[in-house]
Amino acid sequence: MTNITPDPRDMIALLIALIAVLPTAASPEPAEAKPQFSPNTRALDDSPVRRYGSRQRKKVFKFPYRFQGGSLKTKSFAKSFVQTALATALMLAGASATSGWAQNVKITPLGSHAGELCDRDRAMIFEDPTGVRLLYDVGQSTTGADDPRLGAIHAVLLSHAHGDHIGDQKMKALGAGSCEKPEIVPAGAHSVTAEIAAAKNAAVVMVVDLSVFIGKKIEGLTGKPTPVCSQADGGTTVPVAAACRSNIHLGGMHVLKATGAAQGVEITIVYAAHANSLPLSLLGEAERKSLAANGVSVEPGPPTGFVIKFTNGLTAYLSGDTGIHTEMKTIVNDFHKANLAVLNLGPNAMTALSGAHAVNELIRPAAVIATHVNEGATSDGKLKPNSRTAAFIKLSKRPVHLAISDRTMEFDGNAKCVAGCN
């Protein structure tokens, strides 16, 4: 998508440039001053009475320099001091603001209905300040690899193989159906996750058994094997030339670095108390028939969550689907010190009550993003007061932001939402 909003940094640079240029065209000396002394030397000649008189005091705030005959000449020290201080302050403000803007992590949920938090919504794009862009649990709420909201995707993360995460189905069209029941269609034999990884040349970051499975699906699309991503220079430099996969288990970390960046985004796989069964539609015909007859499926490794440490210090815990568990405290809080929790709700695994206990007592983050709510939680962008999501928010002692589709939230290193939050 093209961003046509002027960059505030450019505005500040323009302002500073104007300070340097304006005196050549503006601020002429008052006519009555000219007969008494040269404007360029008046500061030295000026009497204390004149300098500190009320009329002259106003002049102190004029610009410090003026060009005459091509030469730059200094006016009074007081003027220079004040004006230089002003310019310096502006530059410092600009630098500070620049670093502030540059250091936010942008999080954009990609749900079924723009401006709402809907039943099928799970997908999110995380963009690190260095430009690394991650797609988390694409699920069923995009139209697939051609979804115009995706843009560049450097890595695809998948918490577990369930159809509503791997993407066994996809949106018929953006906004199709209702928020409570979006209209979805089969996504074919490869999964939306593999299609996007293949189309975007993305690194596939997930527990190794699942990354091998998705790697095979990518191979089915591209005709080329999916190698393990290089971790030279302390991480995989993105964008990668062709899709590759991580090779890590629970507790392992995969680092993604933007080209030229000093620091990378650190992705650690953490425990989830859930299941990891594959949709039968993604299996070969023989396996599908045999397993379906027995009412079971296969599990490519354990279900997981993620802890992602971004380069600005934001440490996000992506719970995946999970019941409440003790590692939310011992590993996610005590060890990783996650300050943002992206919590999957939905009564099948996490109730309003257990979710609130998880954030209040176990994870203890500075902020929470509520997603995977398995209900149409909003109407016209407003939280429905009788929803389960509303019940969770009522019980939570932490700020909860709704994962509203197509709206970008920005978080600083302390997990304070500085833009785009409700």
- Contact positions vs Zn ion (CB under 5 A): 162, 164, 321
Q: In terms of CB distance, is 104 or 319 closer to Zn ion?
A: 319
The Cα-based distances of 321 to 164, 184, 228, 348, 399 in angstroms read 10, 21, 26, 9, 21
Question: Nearer to Zn ion by C-beta: 162 or 364?
Answer: 162
Which residue type occupies 232? A
CB of 120 to Zn ion, least distance (A): 9
We find the least distance from the C-beta atom of residue 240 to Zn ion, in angstroms, to be 28
Whole-angstrom CA distances from 244 to 96, 211, 269, 347 are 38, 9, 17, 35
d(CA 99, CA 251): 32
Q: CB of residue 395 vs Zn ion: minimum separation in angstroms?
A: 21
Task: Give 184 or 256: the residue with its C-beta nearer to Zn ion.
Answer: 184
Residues 13, 11: Cα–Cα separation, whole Å: 5
Distance of closest approach, residue 119 Cβ to Zn ion, in angstroms: 11
Which of 279, 197, 283, 309 minimizes the C-alpha distance to 245? 197
Crossing angle of helices 208-222 and 192-200, rounded to 10° = 70
Kindly tell me which of 111 and 129 has the beta carbon lying closer to Zn ion. Answer: 111
**Coil/strand/helix, residue 277:** coil
Q: Which is nearer to Zn ion, 299 or 327 (CB)?
A: 299
Contacts of residue 47, Cβ cutoff 8 Å, sequence gap at least 6: none
Nearer to Zn ion, 113 or 162 (CB): 162
Least separation, in Å, of the C-beta of 323 and Zn ion?
Answer: 11
Q: How far is the CB of 263 from Zn ion (least distance, A)?
A: 32
> How far is the first Cα of the chain from the last one, in angstroms, to the nearest whole number?
23
Q: How far is CA 101 from the centre of its chain?
A: 12
SS3 203: strand
> In terms of CB distance, is 243 or 273 closer to Zn ion?
273
Smallest gap, in angstroms, from Cβ of residue 249 to Zn ion? 19
Instruction: Tell me how far, at minimum, the Cβ of 123 lies from Zn ion, in Å.
Output: 12
- Min dist CB 160 to Zn ion, Å, is 6
C-beta of 1: minimal distance to Zn ion in Å?
Answer: 27
Nearest residue to 43 (alpha-carbon basis) of 23, 21, 66, 22? 66
The smaller minimum CB distance to Zn ion, of residues 108 and 159, is found at 159
Question: Which is nearest to 162 in space by CA: 270, 274, 269, 278?
Answer: 278
Q: Between 116 and 164, name the residue whose CB sits nearer to Zn ion.
A: 164
* Residue pair 140/119 in contact by the 8 Å Cβ criterion: no
Task: Give whichever of 59 and 274 is closer to Zn ion, judged by the CB atom.
Answer: 274
Which 3-state string (H, E, C) describes 52-103?
HCHHHHHHCCCCCEEEECCEEEECCHHHHHHHHHHHHHHHHHHHHHHHHHHC
Residues in the chain: 422
> What is the DSSP code (8-state) at residue 47?
-
- Could you tell me which residues come within 8 angstroms of residue 217 by beta carbon, excluding any fewer than 6 positions away? 190, 191, 193, 194, 282
> Shortest distance, CB of residue 349 to Zn ion, whole angstroms?
7
Cβ neighbours of 80 (radius 10 Å)? 16
Q: Which is nearer to Zn ion, 46 or 119 (CB)?
A: 119
